[in-house]
Chains A and B, each alone.
Chain A
């Protein structure tokens, strides 16, 4: 092991130990008590600041380091959709967050699967949605494992092999999430944010100065030499045009507000007003996303010729190329934590959904939060192991699945958002919409027809989904449900009352 590798790896190792320690510290004195609600939604007690760092932490994944820079490198402008959908999604989260939060709090619910089970009065529907959502979330866990593995291997100058790096990613995250839950994830998010803001802020200044003598010359060269990168359709004949940008950003902005991990963040909040303040603060974080995008485009000049998965390393090649080992180590830690925090919340959500909505149906677990929590923790280990095994044995299967994850998850939007505010949407309407929309997404994606004439396949499917849901609700059977509207529907708690 070279001196550089030793330095960077040591820094990395120290921070990994620190991460798990922080997770333990976060739940000290509360760990055993509280059952599944403490573990999965932090006992609904997190204030504005913790919710902010947690939700920023979830959405700012290793994709931001690898994918955003990689897309910037390959395509240019199309990568802006990430900023667009997050900004739009955070804005409507101002309304959706408090609505879901108060609904869950009123009825003692801990996840979206719980919510649909309650709304439609069918526990099996919760179990069904939990299984569907797990299929959509597993690929994300695998992507995070892969992403973190690549980063760890790169920053150790190859001293840690890819396979070991994958295992480290899995082990640290699983151990962390089992012991700590949502509260611990919020604590580690603080450490992560400090490192992410620090390293990206530094790189934003350092890279243009080091390679181009400052921003002026860098941007000048970019505009003069690479204009194809700077407008839609972007570089490289990707077909990602303006229509694709608008439909994808629109669809994702709706999906992100009901994404199970976002909802976990909502439900962890102490009050509806904490979520509203958070909706103001959260979009500020998106400014940071411009950094990896610009650095990705800077890499086009510095290290031309990266292709395929190699382009994902655009940012790290710059870092390793231009910085001393300790700085490489710190950047690696920031990127690794950017995998660990979202991965932890993904696993936590899967554990919660299963502990409550699938296994909660088992008589021995029903109405027993302590046992549901234990069951959830077992599910976390199982799902993490599954994702790790698939990383080793079938790396491409899950990557292909991840293509449909977001667009598939989008098909839950009518069932959840429309269903919670509109009583006339029936169980069968929501289910038919979901089935048709889901099938259409799979068909279009797997026949490689996404985007369809520039339109995001998921957005098209969502349109069909809504039409089918409305038609079946109107014409189809109407299940009897004599609960009053206040019991079934959700509403944004009036701000003046909630403060």
Chain B
């Protein structure tokens, strides 16, 4: 694990969905009409693949090095 620090990106969804919950559990402000909690969950859903991609890119770089 220490040899592959990029794997820490895999914890991003845990931080976004679970860690941040106390801060985002609210209706307002609405963003694009979406209640804030649902907006946040949508953002987290869209960022999850990005997090996994960053872990993958980290592995790729190590592979080439």
Q: Are A95 and B27 in contact (CB under 8 A)?
A: no
Q: When A223-B27, A287-B46, A499-B63 are in contact, do A230 and B52 touch as well, CB less than 8 Å? A: no
Residues of A within 8 A of B33 (CB): 215-216, 219-220, 223
**Chain A hits for B18, CB < 8 A:** 84, 88, 245-246, 249-250
Complex contact A77–B37 (CB within 8 A): yes
Q: Is the CB of A88 within 8 A of B14?
A: yes
Q: Is the CB of A91 within 8 A of B27?
A: no
- A29, CB-defined interface residue at 8 Å: no
Give the interface SS of chain B, mostly helix, strand, loop or mixed: helix
Give the residues in chain A near B56, CB-CB below 8 Å: 94, 276-277, 279-280
Q: Which residues of B contact A83 (CB under 8 A)?
A: 17, 41, 45
CB distance from A240 to the nearest CB of B (A): 12
Number of chain A interface residues as a range:
35 or more
In the complex, what's the smallest C-beta–C-beta distance from B42 to chain A, in angstroms? 6
A91 vs B56: C-alpha distance when bound (angstroms)? 11
B5 proximal to A (CB < 8 A) = no
Contacts of B60 in A (CB 8 A): 495
**A280 adjacent to B49 (CB under 8 Å):** yes
A-B pairs under 8 A by CB, number = 115
Task: Give the shortest distance, in Å, between A472 (CB) and chain B (any CB).
Answer: 26
A286 with B59: CB separation less than 8 A: no
Inter-subunit contact A231/B26 (CB<8 Å)? yes
* Tier of interface size on chain B: 35 or more
Closest to A92 in B: B10
CB proximity of B31 to chain A, nearest CB, Å: 10
CB of A50 within 8 Å of the partner chain: no
Contact partner, B10, options A94, A242, A499, Cβ 8 Å: A94
Contact A245 B26 (CB under 8 A): no
Judged by DSSP, the binding face of A is helix
Q: Are A230 and B27 in contact (CB under 8 A)?
A: yes
Which B residues are in CB contact (< 8 Å) with A276? 56, 59
The one of A80, A88, A287, A496 in contact with B13, judged by C-beta atoms closer than 8 angstroms, is: A88
> Is A140 part of the contact surface with B, judged by Cβ < 8 Å?
no
Chain A residue at minimum C-beta to C-beta distance from B46: A287
Taking the complex as formed, is A232 at the interface, i.e. its CB lies under 8 A from any CB of chain B?
Answer: yes
B 25-41 binary contact with A (CB < 8 Å = 1; else 0): 11110100111011001
Complex Cα gap A228–B12 (Å): 28
Known interface pairs A215-B33, A230-B35, A231-B26. Does A80 touch B59 (Cβ–Cβ under 8 Å)?
no
A277–B27 alpha-carbon span in the complex (Å): 35
**B13 near A87 (CB under 8 angstroms)?**
yes
Q: How far is the CA of A90 from the CA of B56 in the complex (A)?
A: 13
Select one of B17, B25, B46, B51 contacting A231, CB under 8 A.
Answer: B25
A60 to B48, CA, bound (A): 18
Check A222/B35 contact, CB under 8 A, given A231-B26, A283-B52, A499-B63. Answer: yes
**Given known contacts A88-B17, A219-B30, A242-B25, A94 and B55 CB-to-CB distance under 8 angstroms:** yes
Residue of B nearest to A219 (CB): B33
Please tell me if A117 contacts chain B, counting CB pairs below 8 Å: no
* A163–B21 CA distance with the chains assembled, in angstroms: 43
What are some 13 contacts across the A-B interface (CB < 8 A)? Answer: A80-B38, A84-B18, A88-B14, A92-B10, A220-B33, A223-B28, A231-B35, A276-B59, A280-B49, A283-B45, A495-B60, A495-B63, A496-B62
